[in-house]
Amino acid sequence: MRLALAQIAIEGGDVESNRGRAASAIESAAEHDADLVALPEIFNVGYFAFDTYQRNAEALDGPTLTQISDLADEHDIAVLAGSIVEDLSLTDGERPAEEGLANTSVFFDRDGRRQAVYRKHHLFGYESAEAEMLVPGESLGIVELEGVTVGMATCYDLRFPELYRDIAEAGATLVLVPSAWPYPRVEHWQILSRARAIENQCFLATINGSGSYDDATLIGRSTVYDPWGTLLASTGDEPDMVVRDIDPKRVEQVRKSFPAWHDKRR
C-alpha cells in the first residue's frame, strides 16, 4: 500500500481556503499513485479556532465531506478526512447519545463511499476549549482497505494506550492519527507515537497540520512508524507531504518474530 500524509497549512476559521488546500493535497497524493491519503485534525476549521466551531460545524453529508467524497471518487484514492467539527444534531444514524459537537474523522473508499466514522474519544482540556465544547466518541473506527485493516484515533488519544490496544485487538495493522499537535511538546509527539507502534506491533502514521493561530503553532512532523517503532518517513513543520509504501505482511513478520502479545496477561 502506498500511503500519503497531507501536512497542509491550516488557517484558523478560513474554511474555504483550508478546503482548497485539502483538495490540492488529495490531487497531489493521487498524482503520486497513493492508495490512501490522510488529512490532519479539524483541517477545515483549524483546531484552535474554537470561537468558530459552532458556526462552521457540519453534518456528515455537509459541504466539506461531500467535497472529500467527490475527490476520492474522481481521483480513485481512499481518503481519511481527519477531522471536522460535526454537528451531531444534523447527523442521522449511530452517534453519541448526547447531542452537541464532535471531533469527527471519516474514511472514504476509492469510490467516495463513507466506510467508517470515528469521533475522538479523549477531549483535550489543558489550555483548550475542546473538552468544554465537544462530545466524546464511544466507538472504534476500523475499516478494511485492500487487505489492510485500518484503525483511527485522534491527537490527544495518543496519551491513552488502552485505546490503541483495543484498536489492535480489533485487527488493525495500520493506525492513522490525524492531529493538531502544537509546540513545545515535540518529544511527547515523537515518543508517544513510537510507543504506540511498538507496543501494538503495527504501522502507525501521525498526520499533523502546519501553521499558527493565536499563541499556538503546530509542530508538523507527520511521521510513519513501522511495527518495530522504526521511523520510516517524516517532515519538518512546514507544509509538506509524506509518501511511503508500507507492506502489511511486515506486521505479521514482526509479531511472529517477537510474539509479545502471547505473553500479555489481564
Task: Just list the catalytic residues.
Answer: 41, 120, 155
Q: Tell me how far apart the alpha carbons of residues 113 and 14 are, in angstroms, rounded to a whole number.
A: 26
Q: Tell me how far apart the alpha carbons of residues 245 and 224 are, in angstroms, rounded to a whole number.
A: 10
CA 166, 182, 153: angle at the middle one, nearest 5?
A: 15
DSSP 126: T
3-state helix, strand, coil in the chain (%, to 5): 30, 30, 40
Helices (H) and strands (E) in the chain, counts: 7, 14
DSSP 48: T
Q: Determine the residue type at 182.
A: P
What per-residue string of b and e applies to 86-105 under the rule 16 or more CB within 10 Å gives b?
Answer: bbbeebeeebeeeeebbbbb
Residue 241 φ/ψ, nearest 5 degrees: -140, 130
